Amino acid sequence: MCRCTLPRLLFGSVTAAVKMASTGGSDDDLSDWESPVDIDLDAPPSKQMNPWSVVTSVAKWVGLGKNKKLWTQLAGHQGSFQAGESQTVLKKLLERERQCYVNIQCDLLKDFTPEYRGDVQKQGETYLQLQDLLSGFTCPCVMDVKMGCRTYHEEELKNARENPVFRKDIYRKMTDLDPDAPTPEEREKGGVTKARYLRWRDEMSSSVNLSFRIEGIRKDDGSSSKDFKRVNLRNQVREKFRFFLGGNKIALEAYLKRLEAIKAAEESSEFFSQHELVGSSLLFVHDSEKANIWIIDFGKTQALPAGVKIDHRTPWVEGNHEDEYLKGLENLTAIFTELANDT
């Protein structure tokens, strides 16, 4: 039996679950890691949504792997996802994300994003019905890489300056990572603004210097890696990628081809040229036989203001709306190429 189906035994069933999901109530990039617990995938949805919580960031993706042995949600809020029918997953509807998927159906990016199959109602909620990206994989390794140099909109910085809300929960997360990080004002108030925290998190990770960062990794044996918040140097990132690949040359070659194809599509995509991608990710999935990458999470993607053009490479300064997505993609590809040359 595949190793990934054996982390724990339940009475009457064997299940493996890893769920990377935010415990917060907003769409911020807050993280918390909880202990593993078992779930029964045959139980009602309300009971399924209490699995192995491994938290990273903004909502990313959900999947029920081959034979429904694996539940993977790479980041997001608890309750944002439900199991769907016919190799689909349901993601709680955000109108901005829905509109992105509608527009992508007629764009070059369609082949690089999960298939959108319309909206469905379930338990009084409206969900996007999306392709299960883990379907067809056996004991997959999964990695979420958040693209771009920032994880917040420019409007968030402006609002934080004009109407600062000092949140105590984020302050605790900041001081847990670095007790010296808060400013004197933040210490006095015992809180930090969401925008300030997100900006600090980006600077602490590789988002600022490499224009991407690793959010989470799940290996084929069911183990999950979480400690990437301070991974910001190129050689550190390269070693994390090496760990993720585990010597799988088939996956490495497939990933390089897919990265080049994604770049070509984005450089010619009308959708990509007209939107600012914030908090979007690339989802890497491989097993012993195959590998693929998808562009996921458009919950914070927004159309550029009228008259504004970006190239996704120019360094971001407040007001220019650049996201450095392509710069991050090129750095990502270069590191995977180095790994290929090493082997």
The answer to whether residues 190 and 182 touch, using CB atoms and an 8 Å cutoff, is: no
Question: Quick one: pLDDT at residue 222?
Answer: 85
Q: Where are the alpha helices (DSSP H) in 232-286?
A: 234-245, 249-268, 270-273
pLDDT higher than threshold 90 for residue 32: no
Between residues 11 and 29, the one the model is more confident about: 29
**21-30, 68-77, 108-117, 163-172: least confidently modelled range:** 21-30
Considering the chain, what is the average pLDDT of its residues?
81
pLDDT tens digits along 315-324: 999 999 999 9
The answer to whether residues 54 and 19 touch, using CB atoms and an 8 Å cutoff, is: yes
**14-28, 110-124, 220-234, 281-295: least confidently modelled range:** 14-28
Residue 58 CB burial class (10 angstroms; 0-12, 13-18, ≥19): buried
Question: Quick one: pLDDT at residue 2?
Answer: 53
pLDDT higher than threshold 90 for residue 3: no
pLDDT tens digits along 47-79: 333 322 322 222 344 454 444 434 444 444 445
| Average pLDDT estimate for 229-235 | 93
Question: Quick one: pLDDT at residue 68?
Answer: 44
pLDDT higher than threshold 60 for residue 309: yes
Q: 170 pLDDT band (50/70/90 cuts)?
A: very high
| Average pLDDT estimate for 233-244 | 96
pLDDT higher than threshold 50 for residue 289: yes
Question: Quick one: pLDDT at residue 79?
Answer: 57
The answer to whether residues 133 and 74 touch, using CB atoms and an 8 Å cutoff, is: no
Between residues 17 and 171, the one the model is more confident about: 171
Helix (H) or strand (E) holding 276: strand 275-276
Helix (H) or strand (E) holding 333: helix 325-342
The answer to whether residues 89 and 122 touch, using CB atoms and an 8 Å cutoff, is: no
CA 30, CA 75: separation in Å to the nearest integer?
Answer: 10
Residue 134's closest CA among 21, 51, 277, 16? 16
pLDDT higher than threshold 90 for residue 36: no
**46-60, 114-128, 232-246: least confidently modelled range:** 46-60
Residue 231's closest CA among 265, 261, 260, 202? 202
Annotated domain spans of the chain: 3-135
